[in-house]
Structure formats: structure tokens, C-alpha cells
């Protein structure tokens, strides 16, 4: 069975601080993908990034960066110089194949509520 743990339920920072959101996953599959989604107060989930299990390169996109470490089964997300608009719930998700068919099973973590104060 797959599992995604986001131990930080809520994080509050002051604008311009850096913040890291933790994600730890469990799977026995050797091929899988990891995702981060953002859910702003408007409610709609927005895709941020994907990483496959064979690519441990870290990635930076503007103020966002992701650190993928298979050795610790972690896929952490860092926001540099946070802004009020970053306030949202952030979900980490794990995608693995379903043995009975071609579709994948997507397992979400419970989410981290990030509040950036002005």
C-alpha cells in the first residue's frame, strides 16, 4: 500500500521568510511519480511540479524549489522569500501503477496549510 505523510498540518511565517514543506512517502514500487499541488483559498487544486522516481535532481522554479531524496523517501518543497499570495494548502501526492489495469493510483497526503503573514 502507498502512503504519503505531510507531518506539518499548519505553518505560519512572516512575509519574506523561507519555508520548507515536508513530504515523506512509502511505496514498494520502483517506478512512481511524485507531485505537488497547491490549493489556494478559492479551492481549486493547481498542479505545481512532478518528479519521477529515477530523477533525483533538485529543481528550482523562481522562488520555488524541490528536493527529492530517495534515500529518505522525501520530496520537500521550499518557498524562498514567501509572499502573502503563497498562502494556501499544499498537497504532496504519489502516483503508482494499478496492477489490474493501466491506470495509476494517486495517493495524497493530508496537506499543509501555509499562512504567510504581511
Partner 1 sequence: NAGVTQTPKFQVLKTGQSMTLQCAQDMNHEYMSWYRQDPGMGLRLIHYSVGAGITDQGEVPNGYNVSRSTTEDFPLRLLSAAPSQTSVYFCASSYDGGLYNEQFFGPGTRLTVL
Q: Which of 27, 66, 109, 114 binds partner 1 (CB under 8 A)?
A: 109
Q: Which of 8, 21, 35, 86 binds partner 1 (CB under 8 A)?
A: 35
Q: 44 or 85: whose CB is closer to partner 1? A: 44
Kindly identify the residues of this chain, within the stretch 64-93, that bind partner 1 according to CB under 8 A.
91
Cβ neighbors of 103 (< 8 A, separation 6 or more) are none
47 binds partner 1 (CB under 8 A): yes
Amino acid at each position: 500500500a502507498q502512503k504519503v505523510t505531510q507531518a506539518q498540518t499548519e505553518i505560519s511565517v512572516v512575509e519574506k521568510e523561507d519555508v520548507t514543506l515536508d513530504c515523506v512517502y512509502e511505496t514498494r514500487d520502483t517506478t512512481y511519480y511524485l507531485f505537488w499541488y497547491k490549493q489556494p483559498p478559492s479551492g481549486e487544486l493547481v498542479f505545481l511540479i512532478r518528479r519521477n522516481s529515477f530523477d533525483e535532481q533538485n529543481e528550482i522554479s523562481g522562488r520555488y524549489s524541490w528536493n527529492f531524496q530517495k534515500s529518505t523517501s522525501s520530496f520537500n518543497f521550499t518557498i524562498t522569500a514567501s509572499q502573502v499570495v503563497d498562502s494556501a494548502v499544499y498537497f504532496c501526492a504519489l502516483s503508482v501503477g494499478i496492477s489490474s489495469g493501466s491506470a495509476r493510483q494517486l495517493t495524497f497526503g493530508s496537506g499543509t496549510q501555509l499562512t504567510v503573514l504581511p
